[in-house]
Amino acid sequence: MTAQRTFWTLVISAAAILAVTMGIRQSLGLFLSPLNTSTGLGIVTVSFAMAVAQFTWGLAQPMFGMLADKVGSYKVIVLGTLLLAIGLVLTPFMTSGFGLIFAIGILTAAGAGAGSFSILIGAAAQRLPAEGRSKAAGFINAGGSLGQFIFAPVTQALISSFNWVIALFALAATSLTTMLLALPLREKKDIADKRIAAQGDGMGLKQQLQLAFKDKSYLCLNAGFFTCGFHIAFLVTHLPGEVSLCGLPASVGAVSLAIIGLSNVAGSIAAGLLGQVKRMKMILFWMYASRAVAIAIYLMAPKTELTFYIFAAILGLTWLATVPPTAGLIGKLFGPRYLATLFGFALLSHQIGGFFGAWLGGITFVQSGNYEWMWYADIALAGIAALVNLPIREAHPKLSVTSA
């Protein structure tokens, strides 16, 4: 198989899987109101279940990343697919807060995590040369954004045309397609062993983790990613509620999420390509700084449908476009051997932020009747995230594509 064919086979397979898992995951906020109405548990309880899902999805990343480093990505994706489908099917039958936490917060989230960034980008990076990894990460990440663009309006249409239960069952059935999409990621054991031996430097996973968590650059990446998770989880979970507060129809929230996804396709690909010629830490700096400015402008603008759509398009350019430069920097600092695990821990930090973004959004709404203080917190955290990336050590890509 030629290098170009190998590149695109891996990238298309990983991007398609991420389109399904992220599309489903990023659309679950559309079920917040139906779940609240059906169960009568209250916004805070349902928000907490979705906040637990943010944390679980993050915790699943390093755990499944370590498993993928041992048994291969394909087996991990199959396991995740089954967990995701079972969690979605069980959700309508849960009538308590603990039940929702189990179905949405644990099963669904863990299943989506097994078919997400760390496993997919790690699988591709290990089998591609260093100069192609940033580009690959950008295209794979774009798949997740495309999934959000497709799944958000389709899910809302299913909820409106049928009901939320049918919509969940449809998502469960769709999730099963990832087992077929993952077939190109299978790798024969003897080939995998030779690749690992070639990439290895004698350092075990425990030693690599100890080295990483003593590295200030790695810790800075994790801190910035925490803010990214806070921001995204708050918006995915509560943007439909913000739309409702402004007296606009529910479709505006679904369309806004779709626009974010479509815009991030361009943003992700651009981030991946820029990472080949620009310092990735500076790409992250400008992404986080632009979010603070965009939110400030949104708060001052009239709350119309057009405002939400423009806001979504601007946010979408950086939405999950932070993933390619973050994964790329980790690869630069530590190499591809344990990228799935190391990037998984960065995503855990991302989702700890996501837990607080989803949960505190619900508490703020109940306490004040709006999300004003969450928007202010988002601006402050975005500014901090921009600054915390500046101390990261990184050689210019024109000088070296492999050195730290």
Residues 6+ apart with CB under 8 A from 375: 295, 298, 299
Asked if 69 and 341 count as a contact pair (C-beta separation under 8 A), the reply is: yes
Cα–Cα distance measured from residue 239 to residue 284, given in angstroms and rounded to the nearest whole number: 24
Cα–Cα distance measured from residue 389 to residue 284, given in angstroms and rounded to the nearest whole number: 7
Q: How far is CA 201 from CA 70, 197, 213, 339, in A?
A: 17, 8, 19, 14
Encoding tokens for residue 302? 């009239």
Q: How far is CA 307 from CA 141, 244, 294, 355, in A?
A: 26, 14, 11, 27
Report field, pTM of the whole predicted structure over 0.85: no
Give pLDDT, residue 258.
81
Asked if 316 and 145 count as a contact pair (C-beta separation under 8 A), the reply is: yes
Helix or strand run (H / E) with residue 384: helix 372-388
What letter represents residue 98's amino acid?
F
What letter represents residue 88's amino acid?
L
DSSP H helical segments within 127-185, as ranges? 130-161, 164-175, 178-181
> Which of 95-101's residues contact partners 24+ apart within 8 Å by CB, and which partners?
95/39, 96/39, 96/41, 97/41, 97/45, 97/48, 97/49, 100/35, 100/39, 100/41, 100/45, 100/46, 100/49, 101/48, 101/49, 101/52
Helix or strand run (H / E) with residue 252: helix 250-274
Instruction: Look up tokens 């779940």; give the residue.
Output: 35
> Helix, strand or coil for residue 396?
coil
DSSP letter, residue 108:
I
Give pLDDT, residue 348.
86
Give pLDDT, residue 1.
58
Cα–Cα distance measured from residue 70 to residue 266, given in angstroms and rounded to the nearest whole number: 34
Count other C-beta atoms under 10 Å from residue 268's C-beta: 30
Could you list the pLDDT tens digit for every one of the 404 residues in the chain? 577 888 889 999 999 999 999 999 888 888 988 999 988 998 889 988 988 887 898 888 888 988 887 888 899 999 999 999 999 999 999 989 999 999 999 999 999 999 988 889 888 888 888 777 888 888 998 888 888 788 888 998 999 999 999 999 999 999 999 999 999 888 655 455 555 555 555 577 788 888 999 999 999 999 999 988 898 888 877 888 899 899 998 888 888 888 888 898 899 899 988 988 889 999 999 999 999 999 999 999 999 999 999 999 998 899 888 988 998 899 888 888 788 888 888 988 988 888 888 888 888 988 998 999 999 999 999 999 999 999 998 866 654 444 33
Give pLDDT, residue 401.
42
CA 351, chain centre distance (Å): 9
> Helix, strand or coil for residue 1?
coil
Asked if 187 and 72 count as a contact pair (C-beta separation under 8 A), the reply is: yes
Give pLDDT, residue 404.
36
